[in-house]
Amino acid sequence: MSSLWPELERLLGEVQKPARYIGCEDGMILPAHHPDKAAWLLIYPDTYEVGLPNQGLQILYEILNERPDAVAERSYAPWTDLAAALRREGLPLFSLDTHRAAGDFDLLAFNLSAELVYTNLLECLDLAGVPIRTADRGPEHPLVLVGGHCSYNPEPLADFIDAAVLGDGEEAVSEISEVVAAWKAQGRTSREDVLLALAGVTGVYVPSLYTVGFRDDGILDVVRPLHPAVPELVEKRTVADLADWPYPKNQLVSLTEVVHDRLNVEVFRGCTRGCRFCQAGMITRPVRERPAEQVRTMVAEGLRRTGYDEVALTSLSTADFSGITEVLADTVSDDACGQVSVSLPSLRVDAFTVGIAAQIQRARRTGLTFAPEAGTWRMRQVINKLVREEDLYGAVESAFSQGWRRVKLYFLTGLPTETDEDTLGIIEMAEKCVEIGRRHQKGASVTISVGAFVPKPFTPFQWFGQNTEQELNRKVGLLRDAARKAKGVQLKWHDTRASVVEGLLSRGDRRMGAVIEDVWRNGGVFQEWGEHFALSLWTDAMDRHGVSFEEHVYRHRHEDEALPWDHLCAGLHKDFLWQDWRDALDEVGLEDCRWTPCYDCGACTGYGIEHVVASATPPAGGSQGTGQELGPDRVGAVPVGLSQRRPPIVEQSVEPNLLPAGAER
Amino acid sequence: MSVVANPRIRIRFSKQGKVRFTSHRDVARIWERALRRVALPVAYSEGFSPRPKISYGLALPTGYASEAEYLDVELDREQAEALGLVSQGIPGNPQDGLIGRLNQVLPVGIRVQAIAPVQPGSSSLQQAVVACTWEFEVDAAGFDEVEAWVSRVLDADEIIVERERKGKQVTDDVRPLVEALEVGRGRCGASGETVRVTAVLGTRPRALRPVELLEAMLADPAAGPHPPLSARTVCRMQQWMLRESQESQEYQESQQSQESQESKEDIKITQGDARVEPLSVDAGPAALVETRV
Ligand code: SF4
């Protein structure tokens, strides 16, 4: 179990960006391995620059290393040049902390934040010298775990992983460590023993202990436990109070440049705004705020310890944090921190937000980003992103008048019920924003970034048949033509081919495993990188294994149809999601339950927990997820129909008409 | 706004071990964070994106180690005076505990060796450095082979290399930049004896890297059979600049001499009087003496 550094050192001279592989970060831990301890290798299956800042991985790294019965190190997917060099020299995947072989660890735990990295998971296992298929592993091999948002539908990876951990990992990793340490103490008996014991930990799903049935027409029927001791429904884990988990305490500071290269402090977890396309908002409910005092301490100490001059207050919608104004004022005026800039990665679309942005960005007023997500009010009601035009234009006006020169707007296309009018509404909004901007600055410009909508599990849109690649291309074409005529509007869009593959993996069942393996065997790694993505690798593999986009991606799911993740639980009742889907089609909005009565979606009620929010009223101003001006007394016309958990619709025999007139299908 | 220039300090540091795989740009960022952590009152530029006023010397290629890296840091005059760091424009005693504090916050492998004030009006590191002393081990070659290579380099009238500059391929004769070359024996752990080369390579008009020299000779068909030389554990041992008073005159001379073949011998390193290190370390390695195997 010695360090591979001397061998690796010789290879680093021949690869790009060798600093990716040296570790040595400020905050790095060099744990003392011991036969009695469960040794975790936490792997982010993408490049170091993308993976290092991942907060989830860093939190578990610290928690595990604080335990007496566990150690944890880190690894990231080696770029193709180093992977080739490792294979040539017969060297394995290694940890960055002590540069030891991945195969020497007891657990290889992958953080899965995006579906397109799935083939990298196989690549990492293979480089580690671990059989890629669960069935081929023995007690001597590491256990392969996955966590992160994608683990809510791990079925496409069922052949390759030993277990998936659902939800917050803070508590679950400790229980898993106990199970694995005990298994080691018993002399690593059979693999079945440890897998059964792991399945007994709440939040842990062991795919090999379940069987999958299909109907005659090839549609998934049911996923059933194979063993009496394993649960029929695997529940997610939720940490009740973030105040108990002030992690990471020593954020890793990379020696080389990475994305989000700054201090990151998580101010709350969960979001109940209820955007229907947003998986993160649905699966991380309820809202759990960190106490403002703890945020202040983590910011001040973090800046002093790291030497960063930028801090991001992270969450799914930071302007909603109770007491955001005060926390920001304290941060900006703390002399000990010097010239600090604060960034709020997810801005709410309203003037209040621009106000706080102005407070924190006194110097660098280059660009501000908002996400109205859809171009018409009708469309935004469907997706429950209840930003009114006044909100956006108010925000834009206030940004340009206060010195910002560029505004970036995020939109989705391919949304349920989207018509060409909705699509083109994106450009109209952007043009209006430029017009407002030019009143204040001659060179005002607006960049719009359009992504293709991919339906995700555990969202109200999980039943929606994703737009075909052709349809998405047609919409992008409409946008390009319109943008060309619009002054001051720049358009960027995502690769629609990658979106349909993402769709295949996000809602796929176990039959995707053969496709993933096939793509990997044909050299398909780093598929989330444009330079490596190849649609033909996927379509060829799909042809060979009888998988089609038509059936698995473009088809609308029926209400009575089993979904591949039905035996897993993200806290949300399926009937709540179905009702929300019906509301979406009826263009009915749903208010944020943080500040209103509960709809019993299940996320709190199912686990006996509740929101942890310091203030009973939302931070001032703007649209509060309802499209209303919510003053303290909450008066005024309500521009949307607010659904207060309407009685379920009984008659549902008619397939909702989801497609815009004239759209091809 | 004050017309008196801000005081500057010069820091000399080493870069060894794993951290040597960081780039020049990475090192700059490491320094910015370290200086903030020790709360040194660094001067900032004006404008939309204020930047700390720090200047770095000649870039060290990624992967090379060094015993002689430098940076100059401009201090905010008012803050520095308030902290008692300066009087009359000259930093008083910035070494006061600063080396220790910096070494505490710098990553393993980057070590501050010395800090001293920079005389007002002296030229920047980029402008001042004229040559570097390098040491490297040569892979897969015996002492005799390397010795033969050294002779061939020193006997050559010209050494043409193709290099990329600003995206364009350019052809340079780098022979004038080889100021001294020496071969010696070293030891390397269990693998036994290694062959070590010490080279003094000029930096003007463009710095010559050890690997470029090794590759240049390999690529020369006229040189005949040649050991496949490749360098590892390359380490910059010293950087050299001209004494302030001689700088402008000598630079002109050396520029002229590069144009005439005959005067090549004249520009060989003559240390002691003409050349100094930007900041020397008391316990640093001894200066290289004139070499010709
Ligand atoms: S259980 Fe109720 S309060 Fe909790 S997230 Fe769901 S709807 Fe909101």
Q: What is the band of A122 on the pLDDT scale with cuts at 50, 70, 90?
A: very high
A402 close contact with B: CB closer than 8 A: no
Q: Is the CB of A191 under 6 A from ligand 1?
A: no
B22 close contact with A: CB closer than 8 A: yes
Whether A491 shows a pLDDT value over 60: the answer reads yes
Phi, psi dihedrals of residue A315, rounded to the nearest 5°: 175, 180
Asked if residues B183 and B147 have their Cβ atoms less than 8 Å apart, the reply is: yes
**Rounded mean pLDDT of B49-77?**
92
Q: What is the band of A640 on the pLDDT scale with cuts at 50, 70, 90?
A: very low
Cα of A600 vs centre of ligand 1, distance in Å, is 5
Position B16 scores a pLDDT of 96
A30 close contact with B: CB closer than 8 A: no
Whether A124 shows a pLDDT value over 60: the answer reads yes
Q: How close B214 gets to chain A, by Cα (Å)?
A: 15
Query: Of A412, A323, A335, A401, which Cα lies nearest the Cα of A368?
Result: A401
A307 close contact with B: CB closer than 8 A: yes
Q: Is the CB of A577 under 6 A from ligand 1?
A: no
* Bridge partners (DSSP) listed for residue A214: A220
Residue A530 DSSP class: T
Q: Give B-chain residues touching A308 at CB under 8 angstroms.
A: 33, 36
Q: What is the band of A630 on the pLDDT scale with cuts at 50, 70, 90?
A: very low
Position B143 scores a pLDDT of 83
Position B184 scores a pLDDT of 87
Phi, psi dihedrals of residue A589, rounded to the nearest 5°: -85, 165
Asked if residues B125 and B277 have their Cβ atoms less than 8 Å apart, the reply is: no
Query: Of A189, A187, A165, A191, which Cα lies nearest the Cα of A176?
Result: A165
Best-predicted range by mean pLDDT among A257-271, A614-628, B118-132, B227-241? A257-271
Find all residues with CB under 8 Å of A357, minimum gap 6, and list them: A344, A347, A368, A399
Position A636 scores a pLDDT of 28
Q: How close B81 gets to chain A, by Cα (Å)?
A: 18
Position A665 scores a pLDDT of 31
Asked if residues A204 and A234 have their Cβ atoms less than 8 Å apart, the reply is: yes
Query: Which member of B26, B48, B50 has the closest CB to residue A255?
Result: B26
Q: Are A256 and B22 an interchain contact pair (Cβ–Cβ within 8 Å)?
A: yes
Q: Are B26 and A364 an interchain contact pair (Cβ–Cβ within 8 Å)?
A: no
Q: What is the band of A553 on the pLDDT scale with cuts at 50, 70, 90?
A: very high
Q: Which of A316, A569, A601 to mutate to test the pocket of ligand 1 (most atoms within 8 A of CB)?
A: A601
Q: What is the band of B91 on the pLDDT scale with cuts at 50, 70, 90?
A: low
Phi, psi dihedrals of residue A591, rounded to the nearest 5°: -70, 160
Cα of A491 vs centre of ligand 1, distance in Å, is 37
C-alpha distances out from residue A558 to A351, A463, B177, Å: 41, 7, 76
- Packing angle of the helix pair A512-521, A535-544 (nearest 10 deg): 130
B188 close contact with A: CB closer than 8 A: no
Q: Which of A51-65, A143-157, B171-185, B248-262 has the lowest mean pLDDT?
A: B248-262
Q: How close A258 gets to chain B, by Cα (Å)?
A: 10
Rounded CA gap, B138 and B152, in Å?
A: 16
Whether B269 shows a pLDDT value over 80: the answer reads no
Instruction: Give the three-class secondary structure for A438.
Output: helix
Residue A166 burial class via C-beta count within 10 angstroms: exposed 0-12, middle 13-18, buried 19 and up: buried
**How does pLDDT run across A140-183, given as a tens digit for each residue?**
999 999 999 999 999 999 999 999 999 999 999 999 999 999 99
Residue owning the nearest CA to atom 8 of ligand 1: A593
Position B271 scores a pLDDT of 46
Whether A404 shows a pLDDT value over 90: the answer reads no
Position B219 scores a pLDDT of 59
Phi, psi dihedrals of residue B180, rounded to the nearest 5°: -160, 150
Cα of A111 vs centre of ligand 1, distance in Å, is 27
Q: What is the band of A363 on the pLDDT scale with cuts at 50, 70, 90?
A: low
Whether B170 shows a pLDDT value over 80: the answer reads yes
Rg (CA), chain B: 21
The full set of domains in chain B, from first to last, is 8-120 (3.30.70.580), 128-240 (3.30.70), 243-290 (no CATH)
In chain A, where the domains are located: 5-224
More confident residue, B293 or A584: A584
Question: Domain A5-224: which CATH class?
Answer: alpha beta
The ipTM, to two decimals, is 0.88
Q: Is the CB of A598 under 6 A from ligand 1?
A: yes
Position A661 scores a pLDDT of 37
Whether B93 shows a pLDDT value over 80: the answer reads no
Phi, psi dihedrals of residue B173, rounded to the nearest 5°: -90, 115
Q: Give B-chain residues touching A307 at CB under 8 angstroms.
A: 32-37, 105
**Rounded mean pLDDT of B167-185?**
90
Asked if residues B28 and B51 have their Cβ atoms less than 8 Å apart, the reply is: no
Q: How close B55 gets to chain A, by Cα (Å)?
A: 19
Whether B245 shows a pLDDT value over 80: the answer reads no
Rounded CA gap, A24 and A96, in Å?
A: 8
Query: Which member of B39, B107, B232 has the closest CB to residue A26?
Result: B107
Q: What is the band of A82 on the pLDDT scale with cuts at 50, 70, 90?
A: very high
Asked if residues A651 and A408 have their Cβ atoms less than 8 Å apart, the reply is: no
Residue owning the nearest CA to atom 4 of ligand 1: A604
**Rounded mean pLDDT of A217-238?**
93
Position B71 scores a pLDDT of 95
Q: Is the CB of A599 under 6 A from ligand 1?
A: yes
More confident residue, A258 or A620: A258
Phi, psi dihedrals of residue B131, rounded to the nearest 5°: -160, 160
Q: Are B23 and A19 an interchain contact pair (Cβ–Cβ within 8 Å)?
A: yes
Asked if residues A580 and A644 have their Cβ atoms less than 8 Å apart, the reply is: no
Instruction: Name the one residue in this structure whose structure tokens are 């690769």.
Output: A495
Q: What is the band of B122 on the pLDDT scale with cuts at 50, 70, 90?
A: confident
Instruction: Name the one residue in this structure whose structure tokens are 């220039």.
Output: B5
- Packing angle of the helix pair A535-544, A496-506 (nearest 10 deg): 40
The rounded Cα A170 to chain-centroid distance in angstroms is 17
The rounded Cα A144 to chain-centroid distance in angstroms is 20
Asked if residues A538 and A504 have their Cβ atoms less than 8 Å apart, the reply is: yes
More confident residue, B98 or B281: B98
Residue owning the nearest CA to atom 5 of ligand 1: A286
Find all residues with CB under 8 Å of B23, minimum gap 6, and list them: A19, A256, B62
A23 close contact with B: CB closer than 8 A: yes
Q: Give A-chain residues touching B37 at CB under 8 angstroms.
A: 304-307
Mean pLDDT of chain A: 89
Whether A352 shows a pLDDT value over 70: the answer reads yes
Q: What is the band of A655 on the pLDDT scale with cuts at 50, 70, 90?
A: very low
Interface of B with A in 214-253 (CB under 8 A): 232
**Rounded mean pLDDT of A288-315?**
93
Q: Which of A328-342, A362-376, B27-41 has the lowest mean pLDDT?
A: A328-342
Whether A624 shows a pLDDT value over 70: the answer reads no
Query: Which member of A10, A18, A338 has the closest CB to residue B62?
Result: A18
Rounded CA gap, A94 and A84, in Å?
A: 14
Rounded CA gap, B112 and B92, in Å?
A: 18
Find all residues with CB under 8 Å of A587, minimum gap 6, and list them: A378, A381, A382
| Pair type for strands B65-74 and B231-242 | parallel
More confident residue, A537 or B80: A537
More confident residue, A309 or A50: A50
Position A338 scores a pLDDT of 59
Rounded CA gap, B276 and A359, in Å?
A: 50
Q: What is the band of A620 on the pLDDT scale with cuts at 50, 70, 90?
A: low
C-alpha distances out from residue A58 to A52, A302, B20, Å: 8, 14, 25
Asked if residues A164 and A204 have their Cβ atoms less than 8 Å apart, the reply is: yes
Asked if residues A290 and A243 have their Cβ atoms less than 8 Å apart, the reply is: yes
Outline where DSSP puts E strands in chain B.
Answer: 8-15, 54-56, 65-74, 86-87, 90-91, 110-117, 129-138, 160-165, 168-173, 178-188, 192-202, 231-242, 275-276
Whether A628 shows a pLDDT value over 50: the answer reads no
Instruction: Give the three-class secondary structure for A237.
Output: strand
Tokens of A640: 């949307």
pTM of the predicted protein model? 0.89
User: Searching chain A, which residue's CA lies closest to the CA of residue B234?
Assistant: A13
Amino acid, res. A220: L
Rounded CA gap, B214 and B220, in Å?
A: 11
Position B80 scores a pLDDT of 80
Mean pLDDT of chain B: 78
Position A631 scores a pLDDT of 36
Q: Are B26 and A21 an interchain contact pair (Cβ–Cβ within 8 Å)?
A: no
State the DSSP H helix or E strand holding residue A224, giving kind and residue range, or none if neither.
strand A220-225
Rounded CA gap, B64 and B234, in Å?
A: 5
Position A403 scores a pLDDT of 84
More confident residue, A462 or A441: A462
Instruction: Name the one residue in this structure whose structure tokens are 């992967």.
Output: B63
Closest atom of ligand 1 to CA, residue A605:
1
Where on the phi/psi map is residue A307: left (φ > 0), alpha (ψ -120 to 50), or beta?
left
Q: Which of A238, A605, A643 to mutate to test the pocket of ligand 1 (most atoms within 8 A of CB)?
A: A605
More confident residue, A319 or A268: A268
